[in-house]
Amino acid sequence: MKLTLYGGVEEIGGNKILMEEKHTRVLFDFGQSFTMGEDHFVQWLAPRKLNGCQDYFEFGLLPKIRGLYSKQMLARSDLRYTKPQTDAVFLSHAHFDHVEHIYFINPSIPVFCGHGTKKFMEVEEETSSLTKYGRHDYCTFKSGDTVKASELTVEPVHVDHSIPGAYGFVTTYPEGSLVYTGDLRRHGTMSQMTDDFLERAAEEKPSIMITEGTRVAPEERRKLYSEEQVLKMGTRIVEQSRKLVVMVCYSRDVDRFKTFYRVAKDTGRLFVIHPKTAYLFHEIMDKVDVPDPAKDPQIRVYFRRKRSGTYDDSDYYRWEQGFLDRMVTAEWVRKRQAETLLSLSFNQFTELIDIKPLPGSTFIHSMSEPFSEEDIEAKVTQNWIDHFKLTFYQLHASGHASCREIIEMIKHIRPKKVIPVHTEHPELFKKLVGPGKVSLPIAGKELTFH
Ligand SMILES: [Zn+2]
């Protein structure tokens, strides 16, 4: 059995894992690295979509794997098209750094993912002009199903992560078995799902465990909480405010929206969300326990001025139309600051100019603290906070297990070999679980197991 990690090596995100057993080849995730191409591309200087894979190949941003990409994507490239030689692609969850590059993959190769992942991807394509995953033969699974790909049997098992519908995989091959964690955590509201995965993985007595290690680092410098703590502390912060409360979080962190929905309810405020969030909730409502944004009395939907500048119905996309009767505007929020908990995204900060938050209003940053001092978004955010004299709070529960928890998981599952992925510090695993137990991957280099 051979494994090649084409991404997620010495970096957080961009997982691309190829598993080969005799003539069977499957991929686990095919995401884009967060820093992809930053040495050659910036802002509008971007790879040309019409050039397919070639602009990516030029700088080594996509692996040259035969029998994977579509004819169209290779048409202008220096890799010759060959018919599909990959049996299946398995997606652990719908985050960008795990799925983005499936756009290039031959549509006749089946893509297996959870129902939730497919739904999240559909909504993202519909509501974002920048996202395109291409046409694919999707096959959805649920926890405990088994998928047979010639020599391999892949069993997806649900895990808890910062997006619903996340999975880890237990794969058996003739001489052994492989466990891949995807991204997971134990401090979320659905930690039982991660426990199920860990039990199933341990029962398998796997030969290999490919584990995420986002928070495996020499020291944890960020302040992180459990989702329960975010709820408690968030409620306390909002209770104390007599002015506007603004919160920012990741656009698909459903758990966080649910937490702040509860905060709004418990503190008697209206939870004002973006139309995109409303649409997402509406689309996943039948599978995930979220309030109905079109009916819930605690929710309003914030509409910005577009085209006509007069909030005319025809200014808005079809997917926004269903929430027009839940509309609130900047003026509405300005007049009801003490009654509003406003969810705002970075790209919408200009709305603050119209909302005119009173000095001393609250700003809750409910996402990761910046990873570097040079983080431009963080600097700009700070400038907006300073300009409007907002009081800042950092309040976040990570999507990832802590370093200690990852090591405990490895000890519980007891694989013969550990391969760290999705981490900036793979070498640290040697120290933490024993040097003989860890195989450090090199991006694009095949590892062979007997
Ligand atoms: Zn993720």
Q: What local confidence, expressed as pLDDT, does residue 80 receive?
A: 96
Report how far ligand 1's centroid is from the alpha carbon of 306 (Å): 32
- Taking the CA atoms of the chain, what radius of gyration do you get in angstroms? 23
Report how far ligand 1's centroid is from the alpha carbon of 68 (Å): 23
Domains belonging to the chain, first-starting first, are: 2-218+399-448 (3.60.15.10), 227-394 (3.40.50.10710)
Task: Say what angle helices 227-240 and 254-267 make with each other, to 10 degrees.
Answer: 40
Q: 272: which 2 tokens?
A: 């004002």
Strand partners, 270: 340
Q: What local confidence, expressed as pLDDT, does residue 221 receive?
A: 80
Enumerate residues with CB within 5 Å of ligand 1 (an ion): 95, 183
Q: What local confidence, expressed as pLDDT, does residue 130 receive?
A: 87
- Positions of E strands within 345-436: 362-365, 391-394, 417-421
Q: What local confidence, expressed as pLDDT, does residue 81 receive?
A: 97
Q: What local confidence, expressed as pLDDT, does residue 331 receive?
A: 98
Q: What local confidence, expressed as pLDDT, does residue 324 receive?
A: 97
Q: Look at residue 98 and give its three-state secondary structure.
A: helix
Report how far ligand 1's centroid is from the alpha carbon of 161 (Å): 7
Q: What local confidence, expressed as pLDDT, does residue 401 receive?
A: 96
Report how far ligand 1's centroid is from the alpha carbon of 436 (Å): 28
Report how far ligand 1's centroid is from the alpha carbon of 328 (Å): 32
Report how far ligand 1's centroid is from the alpha carbon of 258 (Å): 18
Q: What local confidence, expressed as pLDDT, does residue 273 receive?
A: 98
Can you tell me which residue has the tokens 């007599």? 242
Report how far ligand 1's centroid is from the alpha carbon of 12 (Å): 10
- Residue 369 is classified by DSSP as P
How far is 363 from 179, CA to CA, in rounded Å?
A: 41
Note whether 155 and 200 are within 8 A (CB). Answer: yes
How far is 161 from 399, CA to CA, in rounded Å?
A: 5
Report how far ligand 1's centroid is from the alpha carbon of 214 (Å): 10
Q: What local confidence, expressed as pLDDT, does residue 373 receive?
A: 75
**What is the pTM for the complete model shown?**
0.95
Q: What is the pLDDT of residues 241-276, one digit of tens each?
A: 999 999 999 999 999 999 999 999 999 999 999 999
Q: What local confidence, expressed as pLDDT, does residue 43 receive?
A: 87
Report how far ligand 1's centroid is from the alpha carbon of 267 (Å): 31
Give me the residues of the chain with pLDDT under 50, please: none
